[in-house]
Amino acid sequence: MNNSGKDNLSKVFALKLATKRGALYRADCTTLLASIKDNTVDCILADPPFNLGKSYGSSIIIDKLPNWKYLEWTQHWLSQCVRILKPGGSLFVYHIPKWLISISSYLNTTENMEFRHWIAIKMKNGFPIKNRLHPVHYGLLYYVKRGKRLKFHIIRYPSPVCRHCGELIRDYGGYLKKYRTNGNSVPLIQIADVWDDVNPNIHNKNRPKSINELPSIIPERVIRMATNKGDIVLDPFAGGGSTLSMAESNERYWIGCELGTTVHAQNRILKEAKATKSTVLPQRIQKIFR
Ligand SMILES: C[S@@+](CC[C@H](N)C(=O)[O-])C[C@H]1O[C@@H](n2cnc3c(N)ncnc32)[C@H](O)[C@@H]1O
Cα 81 to averaged position of ligand 1 atoms, centre (Å): 15
Q: Which pLDDT does position 9 carry in this prediction?
A: 55
Index of the ligand 1 atom closest to the CA of residue 214: 8
Q: Name the residue with the closest Cα to ligand 1, atom 27.
A: 239
Q: Name the residue with the closest Cα to ligand 1, atom 26.
A: 239
Q: Name the residue with the closest Cα to ligand 1, atom 18.
A: 28
Backbone φ, ψ for residue 113 (5° rounding): -105, 140
Average pLDDT for 141-147? 97
Indicate whether residue 213 lines ligand 1 (CB < 6 A).
yes
The sheet carrying 253-258 orders its strands as 14-18, 22-26, 253-258, 232-235, 41-46, 85-95, 137-145, 113-122, 194-195
Index of the ligand 1 atom closest to the CA of residue 235: 6
DSSP secondary structure, 146-165, as one string: TTSPPP----EEEPPB-TTT
In this predicted model, what pLDDT tens digit does every residue of 187-224 receive, in sequence order?
888 899 999 988 887 766 666 666 789 999 999 999 99
7 — pLDDT class (breaks 50, 70, 90):
very low
What angle is formed at CA 258 by the lines to CA 17 and CA 53, rounded to 5 degrees?
A: 155
Q: Is the pLDDT of residue 234 over 80?
A: yes
Q: Which pLDDT does position 126 carry in this prediction?
A: 72
Q: Name the residue with the closest Cα to ligand 1, atom 5.
A: 239
Q: Which pLDDT does position 1 carry in this prediction?
A: 36
What is the distance between the alpha carbons of residues 239 and 164, in angstroms, rounded to a whole number? 38
Range list of β-strands (E), the chain: 14-18, 22-26, 41-46, 85-95, 113-122, 137-145, 156-158, 188-190, 194-195, 232-235, 253-258
DSSP secondary structure, 174-187, as one string: GGHHHH--TT-SS-
Indicate whether residue 24 lines ligand 1 (CB < 6 A).
no
Mean pLDDT of the chain: 90
Residue 232: name the closest of 11, 19, 42, 25 by CA.
42
What is the distance between the alpha carbons of residues 144 and 85, in angstroms, rounded to a whole number? 9
What is the distance between the alpha carbons of residues 208 and 48, in angstroms, rounded to a whole number? 18
The lowest-confidence range among 69-73, 199-203, 238-242 is 199-203
Q: Is the pLDDT of residue 10 over 60?
A: no
Most ligand 1 atoms within 8 A of CB, residue of 61, 207, 255 to mutate: 61
Indicate whether residue 47 lines ligand 1 (CB < 6 A).
yes
CATH superfamily, region 7-151+199-288 = Vaccinia Virus protein VP39 (3.40.50.150)
The lowest-confidence range among 108-117, 192-201, 249-258 is 192-201
Strand 14-18 and strand 188-190: the pairing is unpaired
Sign for the CA dihedral angle at 100, 103, 107, 109 comes to positive
Q: Is the pLDDT of residue 2 over 80?
A: no
Map out the domains of the chain as residue ranges.
7-151+199-288, 156-190
In this predicted model, what pLDDT tens digit does every residue of 31-70 receive, in sequence order?
999 999 999 999 999 999 999 888 888 888 888 899 999 9
